[in-house]
Each structure stands twice: as C-alpha cells, then as structure tokens.
Amino acid sequence: MNLSESLELVSKYGIRTSGKVVSLDQALEIKRPIVLKADTSEHKLDKGLVFVGLKTDAEIKHAYEKIKNAGVTGRKYQVFAQPMIKGFEFMAGAIVDDVFGEVLMVGFGGSFSELFRDTSFRAVPITKEDAHEMIDELISSKVFSGFRGKTYSKNALVDVLLGLSKMTQKLQFKEIDLNPIMVDASKAIAVDARVIK
C-alpha cells in the first residue's frame, strides 16, 4: 500500500492523519509552510523524496518536479502534500511475531528512531492501562512531564495505540508503521504510514 492508502486505512481506526495527493496547482494553494513527499511505501527520506518547510512558489514547484521525475520510466510518483505540523515525534507500529502473534510497539520517532531505539512492546489486544505503561517505559516519555516550557498530550498518543490495537485485530497484515506521529498539547497526528499486507 502506498502512503495515501495507508493513511486512509489507519484513519478508519480513529487515528488522526494529514494530507492528500495533489496536483501542482493544488499544492500551491495549501497554507504554507508545507511538506511534499512521494506517495509511496518506500523509505522516502533516504531517497530524497521528502521536502519540508516549503514556503515559496518556486520551492514548491521545484520539489514537486523533483518528486514527479524521481520515479522509474513509465511509473511516475504521485505527490502527497501536508501542512507542516509541529510537535514531538513518536512512532508506533505492529508486527506479527512467530511466538506472540500480533505485537504493538511505541517509541521515539522521526529520522533518528533507529539510532536511539527507545521502544516498548506489548502483545495485542491492549487496554488503556497497557498503553500508558508502554509510553511510561520510554525514555522520551519525560516530555509529558513538561519539557522546555512545552506540554504534550500523552492521552492523544494513548488513543493512537488503542486505535492501532483495534486495527491489528481486524486487519490481516505483516507490518504497520506510523512514523512520525506528531504529538502536541492536544492531539497526535500520524503524518506518515506504511501498511504491508
């Protein structure tokens, strides 16, 4: 499943998402700054398929054309656009383990998630109490106590985990990856998703 399909699917389980596939004209009409990325399940950042903080018409046009022309001949990428969303980056996901079955994960997210490996796991289904415990096990959970004068909604991230738990019970899948999930004082929004069936 590509990015837009994956985000549409996770949104059906109460997980907030952002963005849509756009034409260049539509991209130019979105409130700025914006993010443009390829509508693909590939790891986009490593392949130069993500452009963030775009403010001018020239920047948007340049990024749009770079994405459109990055695809192999005869298979051009569609362009997915989002407003820039601020917040602390977490990630969540699920895999199917040979021993435990469906397993849920939450952790520190973003492009450095593999470097820090700040994660917690539970077999599904999980309860609200399980979700709180998973988050509390993270080193990065300290942000929920207040960090540099900013507050972040732990309950919003809990809701993401509960939605993901429901999704794993209803859907046949191999892997689900939501990274990053932008968490601010009132909400959590999955801005990238990868669902492998």
Domain 19-83 in CATH 3.40.50.300? The answer is no
Closest to 5 (Cα-Cα) out of 95, 63, 162, 19: 19
Q: Is the pTM of this model over 0.95?
A: no
Q: Which CATH class is domain 88-196?
A: alpha beta
Cα(95)–Cα(187) distance, rounded to whole angstroms?
A: 25
Q: Where, residue-wise, is CATH 3.30.1490.20 in the chain? A: 19-83
pLDDT of residue 74: 60
Angle formed at CA 86 by CA 41 and CA 133, multiple of 5 degrees: 80
Whether the pLDDT of residue 83 is over 90: the answer is yes
Q: Where, residue-wise, is CATH 3.30.470.20 in the chain? A: 88-196
Summarize the confidence of residues 178-191 as an average pLDDT: 97
Whether the pLDDT of residue 72 is over 90: the answer is no
62 is written with which tokens? Answer: 């340049």
Cα(25)–Cα(112) distance, rounded to whole angstroms?
A: 33
